[in-house]
Amino acid sequence: MAAVNILETKGLTKTYGGLDANYNVDFTLKRGEIHALIGPNGAGKSTFVGMISGRIPATCGKVWFDGADVTRLPAHKRISLGIAYTFQITSVFGKLPVRENVALAVRRIRGRDRQAVRAKVDGVLERVGLTEQADQLAGDLSYGHQRVLEIAMGLAQNPELFILDEPTQGLALPEVEAFMQLVKDLRGETTILLIEHNMNVVMEVSDSLTVLNNGEVLARGTPEEIRANADVQAAYLGGA
Amino acid sequence: MSDISRIHILHAAMVVALVICWFVLPVYHAGNLARIMVFAIYAMGYNLLFGYTGLLSLGHALFFGAGMYGLGLAMHLGGVSAGPGILAGLITALVVSGVVGFLALRTSGVAFMIVTLMFAQAGYLTVLLFGTYTRGDEGFVLPQATRALMGIDLSDAQNRYFAALILFAIVLFFIGWLVRTPFGRCLVAIRENEERARMLGYDITRHKLIAVILSGTISGLSGAAYCLLFGSAQAAFAAVPYSIFPLLYVLLGGMGTTIGPFVGTLFMFYLIDWSGGNMMVAGVVLVALALFAPTGILGEIRRRFIPWLP
Amino acid sequence: MEFGPHLMLAALEGAITAAILALTAVGLSLTFGVMRVVNVAHGEFFMLGAVAAWFTSTAIGGHPALGFIAAAILAPLIIGVLAVSADWLILKRLDYDPERTIVATIGLLYIIQQGALIGFGPNAQPVEPPFSHRIALPWFEWTEAGFEMYYPWGLSTNSYKLFIIFAAAMLLLGLWLIMTRTKVGLVMRATQQDRDMATAFGIPVERIYALTFGLGAALAALGAVLIVPVQQAYYLMGHDPLLLSFIVVIIGGLGSLRGTIVAALLIGMSDGIISVFFSPTLAKIIATLLVAMVLVFRPQGLFGKGVH
C-alpha cells in the first residue's frame, strides 16, 4: 500500500545555538513528482534535506517517508527504505575505481549476487555516460564527471526518492544540459527533490517548487505561479 | 586470467613456498619463520582494522594478550587441554574486543587511538595486578606434556612449524575471501569516505564493530597460538610495544594488502633480530615509513608494478 | 605515624607530582592545541631533560647548585632545539597529518629512548639537589589539655621539595603571561583558533609550529630537571610522564591550558594520595579506565566546554 505522498514533514525545525536554520517547515511531496527547492543562500535548503535524509538530526518536528514515521531512524535506515542522497560538495570514493563506487551503491541492495551487481553497474554507467571511465579512479575524473558519478551512485540504488543537492553547481553548459535530459528521463521512475540555484534548470525540469527563505516556507506552486509571486521576487531581490 | 584467480594463485603459492621453506631452510631460520607466521597472523588481524577499515588502534596488545592469557590461564590454572584452551583464548579475545569496540567506537580519530591505548594499558596493569596467578613480568610456562593437540606434540619444532603454517594459511585465505565480500568492500568504503558510505545506506557502526571484533579475535588467535606453540605467557606481550609491533609490521609490509602483514613481519623480525633486539631500528623504520613510504612495501609494488595485487 | 600526619605527607608528595605533571602536560597540551598533533615522544623529551641534568651536573662538578642552574638553563634549551629540528625534519614534511605524525613520533620515541640507552647507559643515576634542608612539619591536635601543636617523629620534608612546587608554579605563571600578554602568545592562540585564518593574516604558521613544538619539549625537560634530584635519571623514565600527561590533557579537555592545569592538580594529588594508601597498580588501572571513559562519554574533557 503506497502512500500518495512519498514525503511529508510537519513542524520540522533545526536550531543551531539559538538560531533557527529551519523553522516549522510543513512540506509534502507527491510520488513521481519532480520538485525543486529554491531560496537565497542560507535559506536552510541543505539543512532541510539533511533532516529528511537523516544526516542532520531535527531539533523538533516529524518526517514521514512513504507513510511511515522515520523521524527517529538513523540515516542509513532511511536510505535503505529508498531515499538516495547526493552531496552538495562532491563526495565520491576518490581512491576507488568508478565502477567500484557505483558497485558499493548497488551491493547494499543486491548483496552477494555478483552477476546482478555487475549488470546493474554496467547499466547505470551506460545510462549516465561513464562507461569509458569505468576503470579510472574516481579521484582522477574531471569535476563534471565526478558530479555525474554522484548521480550514478544515487540511481544505482533505484531510489523511491532521489535528493539532489545542487547537482549542477560548477558544471559547464553542455553538462548542465545533459543533466536536465537525465532528470527528464527519470520522470515516472522516481520522485526527485532538487535543490537548485540555476533558474533555467528549475523552470524547465520541475513540476512544482518550494521557496525557502530564512528557514521558513515562503511560497509553493508551479514554476509559473512562483515566477509571478511578488514575495519571491522581493526575497530574491533582497527588497523585502 | 581474472584478478580473482591470480589472487588465489598468489596466496596458494605463498603457502607452498612456506611449506618448502621448512625443508630447505637451516633449523634456526625455520624456527624463526614459525614465530614470524604466528606474529603475521597478529598483523593480519590488525590490518583488517587499520589497513582495510582505516581505524588506527594503539591497543591491540590487549587482544593479543586476551588470547594468550585466555588459553594460558585455562591450561595453566584450569588444567584444560589444548583444544578447549584455544577456544578459551578465542572467546576471551572475542568478548574483550566486543566490549572495547562497543565503547571505543563512540570516538574517532585521535581519541580512538588514545582510548584503545588506555584500555590496553589497563589490561596490561591488570595482568600485573593479578601477579599471583599470571606471575606478572616473569610469566609462566606451559609444561611440554600439555602442549599437544589430537596427539600431536606441538613443542616439537616440525609440528610447531606446520601448526603455525596451517593457522597462518587459514587466516590468510579467510581474509583474502572476506575483503572481497560486500562486507569487506564496505569496510574499504568506510576507510575511504565514511560519510559517503553512511549515505549509501550502510550501517557504519555495525560494520566497524564487527571489524573490531574480527580483528581482535584474530589477534587473540595469534596470542593463543603463541602461548601454545612456544609454551609461555608473559606480561610483556600485553604491554605497549606489542601494540606498536603490528602497526609497524602492517605499515612496513603495506596496509590494506593481504600479504603485506607477512612481508612486514618478516622484514621487521629480521631487522630487530639483526640489530640485537634494539628498538632503535624499529624507531628509524617507523619514521622513514611515515616520511617516505606511507603505503609500505607492497603498497609501493602495487602502485608501480602490479595493480591487481590483493 | 597516625592517619592525619600520614595523609599530610601523602598530600605533599601528591603536590610535587602535580607540579611536575602540570609542567609536562601543559607542554603536551600546547602542541596538541596549537598544532593538532599528538606527540607520543613527549615523555622522551622529559627523560632527556633528566639525562641532560645529570650530564651537566657531572660535567660542572663543584657545588650542586652550580650544576642545577646550568641544567635549568641548558637542558630546556638543548631539548627545545632538538624538538624544533625534529619538527623541521619530520613533522613539517608530514604536513602534520594526525595519523602519520603519531606513527613518526612513536618512531622518535624509540630512537630517543634507545639513543639514551647507548649514550647514557642502562643504570639509573642520581643527581644531587642544589640545596636540601630537613624541615620538620608540625601537627595539630585537640586533646583534653586543649589545642596542641607538636612535631611527630618522621613527619618532615625538605626545602628542595617545597622549592619544586614553588618553581613549577612560577614557571606556569610565566607561561600564562607569555600566552596572554605577549605577541608570541597572541599569535600562538590565533593559530590554535584557526590555522587558515592565521595564514591569511600573514602569521608564519610553520615557524609558530616549530616554536610550539620546541616550547612543549622544553617544558617537559624543565619538569624533569626539577624532579631529577628527588628521583633519578633513567632511560625508561619517560613512560609514566607520557601516560599521565595524556590522562591530564584528556581530562582537562584537549588543548585547554586552564583545564590541563586543574586536571594536573587533580590527577597528581590523587595519584600521590591513592598510591600511598592503595596498590599503585590498582590506582593506575582506575586512572587509565577513567580516562578512557571520559574520552568515550565526554570527549570535550571534564572541564572543557561542550561542542554544539
Domain-located, residue C76: yes
Predicted confidence (pLDDT) at residue A237 exceeds the cutoff of 60: no
User: How many angstroms separate the CA atoms of B249 and B265, rounded?
Assistant: 5
Contact with chain B for residue A121, Cβ under 8 A: no
Partners of residue C298 in chain B, C-beta under 8 Å: none
Partners of residue B4 in chain A, C-beta under 8 Å: none
Domain-located, residue A63: yes
CATH number of A78's domain:
3.40.50.300
A20-24 long-range Cβ contacts below 8 angstroms, 24+ apart: A20/A215, A21/A47, A21/A215, A22/A47, A22/A48, A22/A51, A22/A212, A22/A215, A22/A216, A23/A214, A23/A215, A23/A216, A24/A61, A24/A216
Partners of residue B103 in chain C, C-beta under 8 Å: 292-293, 296
pLDDT bracket for residue C254 (50, 70, 90): low
Give the number of residues written for chain A. 240
User: How many angstroms separate the CA atoms of B198 and A93, rounded?
Assistant: 12
Q: What angle do CA A107, A113, A118 make, to 5 degrees?
A: 65
Domain-located, residue C110: yes
pLDDT digits (tens, 9 = 90+) for B36-69: 999 999 999 999 999 999 999 999 999 999 999 9
Whose grid coordinates read 512519498?
A: A6
Contact with chain B for residue A96, Cβ under 8 A: yes
The confidence score (pLDDT) of residue B306 equals: 83
Domain-located, residue A142: no
Domain-located, residue C97: yes
Residue-number span of the structural domain to which C172 is assigned: 3-238
Domain-located, residue A131: no
Domain-located, residue A233: yes
In this structure, are residues A208 and A221 in contact, taking their beta carbons and an 8 Å threshold?
A: yes
Three cell numbers, residue C49: 631533560
Q: What's the Rg (C-alpha) of chain A?
A: 18
Burial grade of A95 (CB within 10 A; 0-12, 13-18, 19 or more): middle
Among B14, B50, B56, B109, which Cα is nearest to B299's?
B50
Residue of C nearest to B285 (CA): C107
Q: Do B110 and C38 touch (CB under 8 A)?
A: yes
Nearest to B196 among A92, A100, A157 (CB): A92
Three cell numbers, residue A35: 520538485
Tally of domains within chain A: 1
Domain-located, residue A140: no
Residue-number span of the structural domain to which A11 is assigned: 5-89+159-237
Domain-located, residue C307: no
pLDDT digits (tens, 9 = 90+) for B149-208: 888 888 888 999 999 999 999 999 999 999 999 999 999 999 999 999 999 999 999 999
pLDDT digits (tens, 9 = 90+) for A106-163: 998 887 788 899 999 999 999 988 999 888 999 999 888 999 999 999 999 999 999 9
Q: How many CA atoms lie within 13 A of C112 on its CB side?
A: 28
Domain-located, residue A194: yes
Using CA atoms, how far residue C12 sits from B293, C6, C153, C272, in Å, is 49, 10, 16, 8
Domain-located, residue A108: no
Residues B23-29 have a mean pLDDT of: 92
ipTM: 0.88
Three cell numbers, residue A17: 545555538
Distance from the A206 Cα atom to the nearest Cα atom in chain B, whole angstroms: 24
Domain-located, residue C79: yes
Type of residue found at B83: G
Distance from the A46 Cα atom to the nearest Cα atom in chain B, whole angstroms: 15
Residue of B nearest to A84 (CA): B200
Predicted confidence (pLDDT) at residue A240 exceeds the cutoff of 50: no
Q: Do C285 and B280 touch (CB under 8 A)?
A: no
Q: A191-195 and A161-165: which strand pairing?
A: parallel
Domain-located, residue C228: yes
pLDDT bracket for residue C86 (50, 70, 90): very high
Q: How many CB atoms lie within 10 A of CB A184?
A: 12
Tally of domains within chain C: 1
User: How many angstroms separate the CA atoms of A67 and A7, rounded?
Assistant: 8
Domain-located, residue C308: no
Predicted confidence (pLDDT) at residue C181 exceeds the cutoff of 50: yes
Domain-located, residue C92: yes
Q: Do B291 and C93 touch (CB under 8 A)?
A: yes
Is the Cα dihedral A159, A161, A166, A172 positive or negative? positive
